[in-house]
Amino acid sequence: MKNWLYLFCVVSMVVWSACGSGSVEVDEDKPLPIIKRMDKELGEPIEHTIRPFSFMNQDSQIVNNETFKDKVYVADFFFIHCPTICPEVKANMKFMYDELIDNDEVLFLSHSIDTKYDTIPALKEYANKLEIQTDKWHLVTGEKSDIYAIAEDYVSSAKEDVGAPGGYDHSGYLVLVDKKGHVRSFARGTERKDTKRLLRDIDKLLKEYN
């Protein structure tokens, strides 16, 4: 987790008020920055877009890049039986969902990193508990390697770790992606104040298109 935070601080094109706190200071008069990720081969940050992907959601529907065409969306990584941060992160994501339920330009995408136990029926049951609409918020599963790999595109982390609570290590960030597949902002999903700030960033991003 510390390594991930360090990487995000290095490659972000935002100005941090306090790197460890996860709060972001953005010039209100300028567009949101495009956040870069570190290229392992080049050893330097590069501008990128979310790679082509195909997963399955809680209603056994294929979810891919086309699902989010002409949309902005908020993505995260979780697993249902997470004993630490996931319940709080999901509560804040649900807060955002409720605020944006009538905004057709915004969707939500949650990748399960527990591909063994988070089956489609399990994701459906979890979605019912959250009381969410599938066409607004996709809970997806797929090949473990694909989900872990795409986490890098979100400048995030997801991996198995027998030493971590629940057996998985993942970031608790909510990541904002624009209509071109660029990462534009993020929030610490465990903090309601930062989640509210991300809502303002979404509003700012949508103004770029309107």
Residue 156 pLDDT: 81
Residue 171 pLDDT: 78
Domain map (residue ranges) of the chain: 2-209
Poorest-confidence range of 2-11, 66-75, 118-127, 133-142?
A: 2-11
Instruction: Tell me which fold the domain 2-209 belongs to.
Output: Glutaredoxin (3.40.30)
CB contact set of 179 (below 8 Å; sequence gap of 6+): 69, 70, 71, 72, 209
User: pLDDT of 68-118, one tens digit each?
Assistant: 999 999 999 998 998 778 889 999 999 999 999 999 999 999 999 999 999
Give the confidence band of 175 by pLDDT, cuts at 50, 70, 90. Answer: very high
Residue range 164-174: mean pLDDT, rounded: 68
Residue 42 or residue 162, greater confidence: 42
Residue 29 has pLDDT above 80, yes or no: no
CB contact set of 5 (below 8 Å; sequence gap of 6+): 19, 20, 22
- Rounded to two decimals, the pTM is 0.84
> What is the average pLDDT value for the chain, to the nearest integer?
84
